[in-house]
Structure 1
Amino acid sequence: MFRTDTLQITPEVLGLVARIDEFKGAWRALGTLAPDRLSALRRVATIESIGSSTRIEGSKLSDREVERLLSNLAIKKFDSRDEQEVAGYAELMDLIFRAWEDIPFTENHVKQLHQILLQYSQKDEWHRGGYKTNSNSVAAFDENGTQIGIVFETATPFDTPRLMAELVQWINDEREKAVLHPLLIIGIFVVVLLEIHPFQDGNGRLSRVLTTLLLLQAGYTYVPYSSLESVIEASKESYYLALRQTQGTIRSDAPNWHPWLLFFLRSLAEQARRLEKKVEREKIVLAALPELSLQIVDFAREHGRVTMAEAIKLTGASRNTLKQHFRDLTERNHLEQHGSGRGVWYGLK
């Protein structure tokens, strides 16, 4: 078992926790946007999360390609390994967002979530939903998906069932005792889970989904509307460094939780900051836009882009009327034009 009595609660840790909790409280007021606006924010965040979390593990699909794949999710036919992984991640996130209040935190449920994550991945069929039977180590990948080195060694297959039983028991006990702050409990759980690396594959993706589940269960109900995964992807080198600095000490007499918890809390604070900025922009700036312009912006936010043909179909307005709205939105820095002629399209600025 690991020790937490060496945990350092520094002024920066306290400040980050306070900032995140302040946003958690403010979300009740910030989150009063219309349901369609909240739905659009959540869809964009979901696309970003799926794209970022799978790219951290070596996928090459862009957010635009992820969005296109999600719009055809009902087809259930995925040609590449990247597409299979994205589809599984998307369905698991949807389940978490719908049913987080009803998911008990047990080993069996963690295994079930892993099975859903890899349900479309043909190469993972033999091990999904079960703890690893072969040794695995954590590799780091560059932006091209090429392995650049081993980050750290993980628990043996023999030790994994015992270590997972201890970890799940620990988090349930800590959540019930409520001595440690929930954010610290979640942060410690995640870094120990990744140190064990209990499944043959999918551990990183599963850890990020479990982070979202635990945050929701701890009352951080804003997390579906802002992508934590995209924050981590933007700081991938720091992510691996923090993991390595803490994980090498977890089984020692003096675990150094500080590097990982600092990275984890900074990432959560950035997630909240991004969402606050988006919501304030929605309320202050978009409130002054005409209804037609709002429809165009909402479509661009939900789908990643909008064309003139899509705007005509969406609104029923004439091409000349819409041209003026596109011009105004571009001049006011809400949209950015890409391409020219028949191939022109607009994305969010």
Structure 2
Amino acid sequence: MELKLNFDFATTQRIIRKIGYIDSFKGRWAGLELSESKLLKELKQIATIASIGSSTRIEGATLSNEEVKELLKSVSIGSLKDRDEQEVYGYYEVLELILDSYPEIDIRVNHIHHLHNLLLKASTKDEYHRGGFKQLSNKVVANYPDGEQKIIFNTTEPHLVVNEMEAIVGWTNQELEKDEIHPLIVISAFVYEFLSIHPYQDGNGRLSRLLTTLLLLKNGYDFMMYASMETEIEKRKKQYYNVLMECQRKRGSGEEKIGVWVEFFLNTLQESIEILESRYDEIKNKKSYLTDRQQQIIRFIEDQEPVKVSDIHSAFMDTTIYTIRKEVEYLKKENIIQQVGKGKATIYYKKK
């Protein structure tokens, strides 16, 4: 594996810059997570829908994000009408498991089997092979919106899959523990190898993206709960397949290099961060994450400032003084209103 990661000088410099940007954002995000609970809830919902929609469309599904959102409002296995809905349901199940339980999900072959089984559990067509390595040869095929299919490359033969999967899983865990190679490079290498092996009969692309999220979360990139790499890959679907094909040309020859893939992976992650930052600012500025009462309190303060808590309570007599104090504290913590003075003399202004 180390030979594949032997990058030329220019590639190394570009990778270092990308990693610097991503890790800098990782540090900034850690502070935001502590104080933006309601805003983060909305960001997470948006990212979850976007990730499910994009990842299933990459593989040929046709449901829009809005259709995915509607489906998941009251979904059950028995209500799924077609393969597109089955794929959406499976992706949702695995993504929710990862977001809720990633600290407990180690990167082991049996855990990957379990995720694959869950991913395909709603698909009757895949019942015979879900949760087990492939028994027949397969290829990486690009599915395009016009129905065209293009073979990108051949994959590992079935009889070699067990050894190759155990090798890449072992290498990944070892390198992440040693911490000598940056975790983003290790994770991108794991994803490349997983796609190259294509260990399952079907579902490999979707599972590779879920494993990407799992590995990033396990290695401290908590913002992945609110970002969607899947959406950025969907936007660059042609480049995604071209990069894989380029790296694959010398697979098994000893001259295989994956610098182009690592750059693509990091570029995609950086783009997803930039979208997250933009979305964060947009939601924060719109205050759409606030409750109706919180927005009403803000408008009252803006119209009547300066105001005391007792003034606010007088305008919202159906709400207890205790609740008003809690709302005011929350709005202060969110940097929306400003406190001046202490004790009974405390007054509040809307922050400019």
| Global fold match (TM > 0.5) | yes
Per-residue CA deviations over 1:232-269 (Å, capped at 9, x if unaligned) read 00111111111111123342212211111111000000
- TM, length-normalised to structure 2: 0.79
Counterparts of 2:290 and 2:42 in 1: how far apart (Å)?
Answer: 17
State the partner residue of 2:100.
Answer: 98
Structure 1 unmatched ranges of 5 or more: 296-349
Counterparts of 1:288 and 1:27 in 2: how far apart (Å)?
Answer: 18
State the partner residue of 1:3.
Answer: 3
State the partner residue of 1:64.
Answer: 66
Q: Which amino acid counterpart does residue 6 of structure 2 have in structure 1?
A: T
Per-residue CA deviations over 1:295-341 (Å, capped at 9, x if unaligned) read 9xxxxxxxxxxxxxxxxxxxxxxxxxxxxxxxxxxxxxxxxxxxxxx
Q: Which amino acid counterpart does residue 278 of structure 1 have in structure 2?
A: R
Find the residue that maps to 2:122 and give its secondary structure.
coil
Deviation of 1:179 after TM superposition, in Å, equals 0.8
Counterparts of 1:39 and 1:288 in 2: how far apart (Å)?
Answer: 8
State how many pairs are aligned: 294
RMSD: 2.1
State the partner residue of 2:180.
Answer: 179
Deviation of 1:177 after TM superposition, in Å, equals 1.2
Q: Which amino acid counterpart does residue 167 of structure 1 have in structure 2?
A: I
Find the residue that maps to 2:80 and give its secondary structure.
coil
Q: Assess if the C-alpha contact under 8 Å between 1:191 and 1:247 holds in 2.
A: no
State the partner residue of 1:261.
Answer: 262
State the partner residue of 1:202.
Answer: 203
Find the residue that maps to 1:95 and give its secondary structure.
helix
Q: Assess if the C-alpha contact under 8 Å between 1:2 and 1:250 holds in 2.
A: no
Is residue 88 of structure 1 aligned with residue 65 of structure 2?
no
Deviation of 1:10 after TM superposition, in Å, equals 1.9
Deviation of 1:290 after TM superposition, in Å, equals 9.5
Q: Assess if the C-alpha contact under 8 Å between 1:45 and 1:224 holds in 2.
A: yes
State the partner residue of 2:234.
Answer: 233
Which structure has the larger Rg over C-alpha atoms? 2
Counterparts of 1:221 and 1:37 in 2: how far apart (Å)?
Answer: 15
Q: Assess if the C-alpha contact under 8 Å between 1:30 and 1:279 holds in 2.
A: no
- Superposed, which structure 2 residues align to 1:88-167 within 5 Å? 88-144=90-146, 146-167=147-168
Change (3 A) 1:64 1:282: closer
Change (3 A) 1:26 1:166: same
Per-residue CA deviations over 1:8-55 (Å, capped at 9, x if unaligned) read 452111110000000000002333454222111111110010000000
State the partner residue of 2:247.
Answer: 246
Q: Which consecutive aligned stretches of 4+ in structure 1 deviate over 4 angstroms post-superposition? A: 287-295
Per-residue CA deviations over 1:79-126 (Å, capped at 9, x if unaligned) read 101101110100100000010000111100000000000000110000
Change (3 A) 1:82 1:158: same
Find the residue that maps to 1:151 and give its secondary structure.
strand
Per-residue CA deviations over 1:153-201 (Å, capped at 9, x if unaligned) read 0010111111111111111111111111000000000011100000000
Counterparts of 1:106 and 1:289 in 2: how far apart (Å)?
Answer: 41
Change (3 A) 1:288 1:198: closer
Q: Assess if the C-alpha contact under 8 Å between 1:139 and 1:147 holds in 2.
A: no
Find the residue that maps to 1:158 and give its secondary structure.
helix
Q: Which amino acid counterpart does residue 62 of structure 1 have in structure 2?
A: S
Is residue 42 of structure 1 aligned with residue 39 of structure 2?
no
Q: Which moved more, 1:68-77 or 1:112-121?
A: 68-77
Q: Matched residues, percent identical?
A: 42
- Superposed, which structure 2 residues align to 1:313-328 within 5 Å? none
Deviation of 1:76 after TM superposition, in Å, equals 4.0
Change (3 A) 1:251 1:293: farther
Counterparts of 1:50 and 1:219 in 2: how far apart (Å)?
Answer: 22
Deviation of 1:281 after TM superposition, in Å, equals 2.8
Q: Assess if the C-alpha contact under 8 Å between 1:48 and 1:63 holds in 2.
A: yes
Q: Assess if the C-alpha contact under 8 Å between 2:283 and 2:289 holds in 1.
A: no
Counterparts of 1:106 and 1:114 in 2: how far apart (Å)?
Answer: 12
Structure 2 unmatched ranges of 5 or more: 297-352
